[in-house]
Amino acid sequence: MDSKWLNFLLSQLRLVNYENEYETMRLLFDKPLSCKLVCKSAQDLLESLKRNENYEFLLKDKQTRVREAANLRKEAIGVDNMELSLGYANRALALQCFGYYQQAYDDCECALEIGYPKKLYPKIICRQAYCALQLNNAELLTKHLSSLESMHLNENFRRQEQELRANLWKLQNQTEKTNGNVELILKNRDSQEIVNTFSEIGRYMRAKRLIKQNELIFSERATALAPIGSAIQLCNHCAKTSFIPIPCQHCRGRVVYCSLACLKAHKNIHLHECSAYQMQLFAHVGIAHLALRIILDNGLLTILDLLRNKQTTKAIWTSLTEGGDVWSNPTAAYSESLRMVSHLKKMALEDVKVFAAVSHLIVVYLSRYTSFFDLLSSNHRFNCNWELIVAALILKHIGQSIVNGHVCTVIRPKIFENYSLTEYHLLNEDLWEKPWHLRRGYLHRFAYIDDVATLNLPYTSICNHSCLPLFQPKFSGRIISAYAMRDIKESEEITNCYTQHSRVERRQTRQEILKKSYHFICKCGECMRQEGDDDVNQFHQYRCDNEKCRHVFVPQTPLKWWQRKTSNDLQNINVLCAVCGSRQMFKWFYDYQKLLTSLNSPLTRLRLYQLYQNLDEYLLAFNSCKAFMASKAVQEIFKFLNDGSLNEEDYKNLTRMIKYSLEYETYTSGSSCISYICEMTYLWDIIALGKWKYEHKDMNSIFNESLIVLGDEMFLIFSNYYKDFLVKS
């Protein structure tokens, strides 16, 4: 964030005691002179962001720009609308040939929308009609056939039209699928209830009846989401990660959608964000982006009716805060978000001031670059300071998101080298046999975990914390589903785990995080146990590498020393034997690490397997470091899988390493979690290639239990792979 602007703003914000969001933001909005100055400085900052962006874009050489433009399809520079529409139409054909009919259909729509040449209409309408047929959509097929009727068609298109018409009758009797099931699942909350303690602990969730292991406890659709990092692999509306992108025309493809339906559904939100994306504002504001989305996405505009009789700014604010009529409204979805807890009061004043500055900046942005405030004012009879209200709400939602925001963590394929927008994994022909069916030996490309978005989930957020998780979350786009990890008794509290759980992180570290970010001292069963760290320590047993000692010990700190990023960091590791006090040399680790960079040679791989086998001398029981080393080697060696250069010895050793990692995952986190599934992809590939035989009954139970946490599209990819290559092999 620009330090000159921030310093100036902080100097103007004379916050001595934090009272609430409204009073804090009033300090920036109420005094005319200072208000003018701070607005001007925010405006200058936004203009400079915009200038920098344009300048950087112009700096790129022409070739890069043309390539980017071609990738984005809709970039304004270098490509006119006609070229763009032909680009869409061509991509539609490619997608149609590949079997992505909905995506192909959407691309035809885009082409038509931006000026596809009239004389070529029969071609694109026939294409749409064909896709409609494949999608079993009789209504659309009828529509396109009737527009073809009024066109002059050459012999080829006339024949196509007749074939399509002959197929129409087959469709007309088919019943339409509905989304009723999804709606039902989202509303089904009958196994749990919410209790309010009216104390520090606040509200919590408890079971109303016995909930069985692996049972779905509840589902919730995020009211808002904000992409993490580069958004180009995430549909900004539904949060899917496997799709063929339709980018926004105006913000250089920084916002993409999985379908035209999502683009349209997100239109009223993006309307207020497009300019911000153009100037890359959201790259600077962190969690405040989610706060803004909570307001834009089914937020403030949905409750204007409830505010219509409030005559003053203060009256509006009062109704939105604790005890107010809108705040307490049991039916308004936005009220659920307003009721989430926030700890701004307990935070350092300096932090609150920075959040207030960012809230102010976003309001200046909305006011100068969008019509958001016109919309609010025109829908309200009285003259109120909406800028102040929105700034206070952004600050409120920032405070809430810090404590309640959920990270959407999913499995997805590793981004390919020289990645560009056209290389979305669904379009990568190396991977696919046909849509959603991978080629044999390619499942391990999905062994990556990524945080793709932050989500606002007011219902899930009611769950308090405990250090041993009770449910496993499944993220399918922006829908979270919570599955019981064990039987939950009637009246038992249904808790979530906000940190790393007690089998992978020690009590003190967990407690520090919870205190710092969530402002409470955890007294859960795990934290209160006398021998609280035994569960995690059992996975960190070493034999001292000092020849004179050789005792077994558990290091004090750092526990996961191998996670250091650079080799320099690794050299500075200071792990001491708890018995003799000598610093561990970890020669066995460094020798192993060195080999990881040259595994293209079978001899190096053989040497690595020997070193791996010798690890038991230093790493005891189920050891976290050994699991890390196994997983790392498997990852590296699998880079040579698809070019056929691995031999029988490799497969034997790989299988041994993968099984170790899987067992380690089962002991620490269980088999229904995405880190287990990542390790499992390697084993499935080995099985698919016929290099390891397994018991069908074992595999079936793994299949049923583990994949429960995969989002819908990943589930489809994994289950297709299972049916295509594992059941048959």
At 220, phi and psi to the nearest 5? -150, 140
Contacts of range 518-521, beta carbons closer than 8 Å, 24 or more positions apart: 518/343, 518/403, 518/465, 519/343, 519/346, 519/403, 520/200, 520/201, 520/465
Query: How many C-beta neighbours within 10 Å does residue 268 have?
Result: 12
Nearer to ligand SAM, 342 or 623 (CB): 342
Shortest Å, Cβ 301 to ligand SAM? 24
Query: How many C-beta neighbours within 10 Å does residue 404 have?
Result: 21
Query: How many C-beta neighbours within 10 Å does residue 5 have?
Result: 18
Nearer to ligand SAM, 351 or 616 (CB): 351
Nearer to ligand SAM, 36 or 346 (CB): 346
Nearer to ligand SAM, 346 or 551 (CB): 346
C-alpha–C-alpha distance, residues 140 and 668, integer Å = 51
Shortest Å, Cβ 322 to ligand SAM? 11
Residue of 585, 592, 593 lying closest to 614 (CA atoms): 592
C-alpha–C-alpha distance, residues 696 and 722, integer Å = 11
Shortest Å, Cβ 340 to ligand SAM? 6
Q: Which amino acid is at 561?
A: W
Shortest Å, Cβ 514 to ligand SAM? 8
Shortest Å, Cβ 194 to ligand SAM? 9
CA distances from 192 to 185, 530, 580, 681 (A): 14, 31, 52, 35
C-alpha–C-alpha distance, residues 485 and 473, integer Å = 10
Q: Which residue is nearest to ligand SAM (CB)?
A: 202
At 36, phi and psi to the nearest 5? -65, -45
Beta bridge partners of 192: 207
The helix (run of H) or strand (run of E) holding residue 634 is helix 624-637
Nearer to ligand SAM, 203 or 414 (CB): 203
C-alpha–C-alpha distance, residues 216 and 481, integer Å = 7
Q: Give the DSSP per-residue string, 391-442.
A: HHHHHHHHHHHHHH-EEEEEEEPPPPTT--GGG-GGG-TTTEEETTEEPTT-
Shortest Å, Cβ 341 to ligand SAM? 4
Nearer to ligand SAM, 404 or 706 (CB): 404
Shortest Å, Cβ 517 to ligand SAM? 8
C-alpha–C-alpha distance, residues 456 and 619, integer Å = 42
Q: Which amino acid is at 422?
A: T
Looking up tokens 């975990």 gives 449
Nearer to ligand SAM, 266 or 396 (CB): 396
Shortest Å, Cβ 330 to ligand SAM? 16
Shortest Å, Cβ 290 to ligand SAM? 14
Helix, strand, coil percentages for the chain (3-state, nearest 5): 55, 10, 35
Nearer to ligand SAM, 82 or 201 (CB): 201
Nearer to ligand SAM, 403 or 716 (CB): 403
Shortest Å, Cβ 201 to ligand SAM? 5
C-alpha–C-alpha distance, residues 322 and 385, integer Å = 20
The count of C-alpha atoms lying within 13 angstroms of the C-alpha of 614, restricted to the half-sphere facing its C-beta, is 12
Nearer to ligand SAM, 503 or 605 (CB): 503
Please say whether the beta carbons of 275 and 369 come within 8 A: yes
Shortest Å, Cβ 329 to ligand SAM? 17
Shortest Å, Cβ 222 to ligand SAM? 14
Please say whether the beta carbons of 394 and 295 come within 8 A: yes
Shortest Å, Cβ 51 to ligand SAM? 40
Nearer to ligand SAM, 247 or 458 (CB): 458
Interaction site with ligand SAM (CB under 6 A): 201-204, 340-341, 343, 403-404, 461-462, 464-465, 518-520, 522, 524
Shortest Å, Cβ 188 to ligand SAM? 21
C-alpha–C-alpha distance, residues 129 and 146, integer Å = 10
Q: Which amino acid is at 529?
A: R
Please say whether the beta carbons of 301 and 395 come within 8 A: no
C-alpha–C-alpha distance, residues 215 and 192, integer Å = 12
Nearer to ligand SAM, 218 or 442 (CB): 218
Shortest Å, Cβ 527 to ligand SAM? 9
C-alpha–C-alpha distance, residues 587 and 568, integer Å = 15
Nearer to ligand SAM, 357 or 462 (CB): 462
Q: Which amino acid is at 602?
A: P
Nearer to ligand SAM, 518 or 721 (CB): 518
Distant-in-sequence, close-in-space partners of 219: CB < 8 Å, separation ≥ 6: 185, 186, 188, 479, 480, 481, 482
Nearer to ligand SAM, 72 or 524 (CB): 524
Q: Which amino acid is at 714?
A: M
CA distances from 396 to 17, 373, 390, 518 (A): 16, 19, 10, 15
